[in-house]
Amino acid sequence: MIFEESWRWYGPHDPISLSQIRQAGASGIVNALHQIPVGALWSVEEIQRRIDLIEKENSTSTPLKWIVVESLPVHEDIKQGRENRDELIEIYCQSIRNLARCGVRVICYNFMPVLDWLRTNVRKELPNGSTALYFHPLDLIIFDLYILKRPEATKSYDAVDIKKAQERYSNFTDQDISLLKESILMALPGDVKGFTLEKLKLGLEAYADIDENQLRANLIYFLERVIPVAAQEGVCMAIHPDDPPWSVFGLPRVVGSQSDLEYIFSAVPDVHNGLTYCTGSLGAHQSNDLKALLLNFEERIHFVHLRSTQRNKDGSFFEANHLEGDAGLVELITIFYEISNRRQKQGKTALPMRPDHGHQMLDDLDKQYYPGYSAIGRLKGLAELRGVASAITHLKQQYNS
């Protein structure tokens, strides 16, 4: 088995039920306690209650197990290095201990300031009628200049791009504007409230004096305290790359490239300081070599997100079918086959992998999902990835025997 097939479930409010996930063939549940405010403790009772819910029907059918936390969110005050950070870090450490006590030992988190992933259109229609997540750099500038009206906005872009954005904006309809606004202010995954322009402005202002070096130092400060606890508890921390892996709205972002990752892992070398290998986020930047990253950080990859972005000449990208686009997932899964053999020899379990995002299609087109997290699109992604993994396994075993 190359991967432990897993599926992100948003909890009791997710329109997709556990029994549907079972039908999709996944066995690992990727979950978070979204009801607990960022910064508050995840108690053993709350964690256990969620485990009981996930495992409730296990006696009657294919067992499901909560195998990865996505995410245990990091409080903004930790990212900003505020005075109360030690207190918040201690709570974070206690949540790690509690998760370990309940047997959940892989934790995905990110260190993106203010926002999580960002797209300028969460419903980009593809030629075949399904919709995908899409990012256009000029639309981000349009949002920044004409909708958010951030005072410092012009300093973040070069004059040529500002001119192009002006031109593009002159053809925008009201509908284009509201879709752009809705897409950017989209609720963070699992968050039902979403952002307002005001909230976003305040969030951005808090980073006025925090540059990349400072943010990086704050990340290392956090890791120096959290990783020893994780190591002691046998918990693998898996940082999620920035998505997209570059600065947005002038915010610093420090988890987007090979050198960013090298810095993070050499500053805190324990192997529990690891990575969520997200081919979609890392692959959005053309200078990221997904194959090299996989081989370089093999020992640190604790969780895998598979999807493929397709970069266009104008700097935009969209999320392609899983086996198309720029990621080259077939070749990467071939490497994962070798990795899984090495892991097996070391007595390690298969890496948890989830099909990341999916197109909205067929009967799902009119339904309400978290963007990227539809049932049929992800089912299709998972089925395609499973097909590749089993073909590779079959061929390799035949060839080697």
Would you call 305 a catalytic residue per the annotation?
yes
Q: Which of 34, 278, 359, 370 is catalytic?
A: 278
Stretch that binds ligand DNO, among 106-114, 166-174, 212-220, 229-237 (CB under 6 A): 106-114
Closest CA to 3 of 343, 273, 237, 290: 343
Known active-site residue 285: no
| Catalytic member of 77, 139, 144, 356 | 356
In the range 332-361, which residues lie near ligand DNO by CB under 6 A?
356-357
One of 10, 66, 117, 135 touching ligand DNO (CB under 6 A) = 117
Task: Residue count of the chain, please give it.
Answer: 401
Binding mask 41-80 for ligand DNO (x = CB under 6 A): -----------------------------xx---------
Residue closest to 89 by CA, chosen among 78, 97, 100: 78
Question: Is the CB of residue 388 less than 8 Å from the CB of residue 323?
Answer: yes
Query: If binding is defined by CB under 6 A, does position 134 make contact with ligand DNO?
Result: no
Per-residue contact string for residues 302-331; x = within reach of ligand DNO by CB under 6 A: ---x--------------------------
Residue 247 CA to residue 252 CA, distance in Å, equals: 6
Q: Which stretch binds ligand DNO (CB under 6 A): 109-117, 218-226, 294-302, 393-401?
A: 109-117
278 catalytic, yes or no?
Answer: yes
Q: What is the 3-state secondary structure (H, E, C) of 98-130?
A: HHHHCCCCEEEEECCCCCCCCCCEEEEECCCCC
Smallest separation (angstroms) from ligand DNO to the CB of 171: 30
User: What type of residue sits at position 113?
Assistant: P
Give, as ranges, the residues between 218 and 247 that touch ligand DNO (CB under 6 A). 240
Distance CA 256, CA 328 (A): 19
Crossing angle, helix 258-267 and helix 212-233, to 10 degrees? 50
In the complex with ligand DNO, the residue whose CB is nearer, 114 or 162, is 114
- Report the first-to-last Cα separation within the chain, whole angstroms: 17
| CB-count exposure of residue 236 (10 Å: 0-12, 13-18, 19+) | buried
Contact with ligand DNO (CB under 6 A) among 18, 54, 78, 108: 108
State the residues that interact with ligand DNO by CB under 6 A.
70-71, 108-110, 116-117, 189, 240, 305, 356-357, 372
Give catalytic residue positions: 240, 278, 305, 356-357, 373
